[in-house]
Amino acid sequence: MNTLIKPKKLNPGDTMGICAPSSPHRSRQNYYRAAAALVNLGIKAVPAPNLWKKNGYLAGSDRDRAEDLNEFFSRGNINGIMAIKGGYGSARILEFLDWDIIRKNPKVFIGFSDITALHLAIQKEVGLVTFHGPVFSQMAPERQNPYIIEGLRKAVMNSKPIGTIPPAPEEEPFTYTINPGHAEGPLVGGCLALIAQGLGTPHEIDTRGKILFFEEVGEEPYKIDGMLHQLYRAGKLEEAAGIVVGECSKCKPREHSPSFNTGSFILEEVLADIIGSLDIPAFYGLPLGHGRNIATLPLGVKARMDAYNCELTILEKATQD
């Protein structure tokens, strides 16, 4: 197991490299609006050389996308790296990443959704603390909000433990206990589909004694059921110290073209059936995914969960001065 490596915190005046490890981002106007918003944190955005390339549903070739990450980790004038969006394709570039460069040049790296594949691989290969948090396109004024901005600032521009992750504003989905209890351990997780896809690969998730969190978007309950059973049969659920289910956005049966016209379970029933059968604490509903709000979580550091009160607290600092 790699020794945990913590990146330097970001400071006003620093530079954030913006890359596209997965799908292409088509709006340059959105890019410039997001860059202007990042200035409010004192951070300058710099686009990757291949940022605007397009190859079907990918942002350029696999080598193009990997080269951007390798270059940003190696450049001394880039202090942090942020994915412009998720989509699909980050797992395809893993074989082209230079792990020695990343290990020797630890930096803040931020993203979520498809970027989960990169978080898992960097943890396994390097042991670098990375951040499951907003993508750059969410910095544009029409998408960002105080919850996103304050969570990001507190996570990557501060060398103290983040503390308790605040719940979403009242209009967002509620939290509830699946299994009561408390747990402590390193925090791991990300998008459920990417976690499941990583099983059987060199970068599959290690949940032993850890707090596992996951989130998902746009998947019908039977798909969630299948992915959770895959993790269960691989031993990944019962090995965890506890489970935090982030907001699962739009994970309902299709109304006009359901996969099963005989009826369906709802998401809460799936969670109760699979996670509720485990003898470990678990709760649902923190804003950790594809909803209007998204918290920024440092991966790999020690955390504590209280499933009675639906709280997740980061106990260990994620960055260094």
The CA-atom distances, in angstroms, between 122 and each of 30, 61, 166 are 28, 20, 27
Contacts of 6 (CB under 8 A, 6+ apart): 106, 128, 129, 317, 318, 319, 320
Q: Give CA–CA dist 72/101, Å, rounded.
A: 10
Catalytic choice (23, 113, 137, 264): 113
Verify whether residue 215 is a known catalytic residue: yes
The CA-atom distances, in angstroms, between 65 and each of 90, 94, 286 are 8, 10, 31
On whether the CB atoms of residues 156 and 288 are closer than 8 A, the answer is no
Catalytic choice (137, 203, 215, 220): 215
Task: Note the helical H segments in 234-315.
Answer: 267-274
Q: Give CA–CA dist 306/183, Å, rounded.
A: 7
Q: Give CA–CA dist 33/25, Å, rounded.
A: 14
Verify whether residue 119 is a known catalytic residue: no
Verify whether residue 290 is a known catalytic residue: yes
Catalytic residue numbers, as ranges: 113, 215, 290
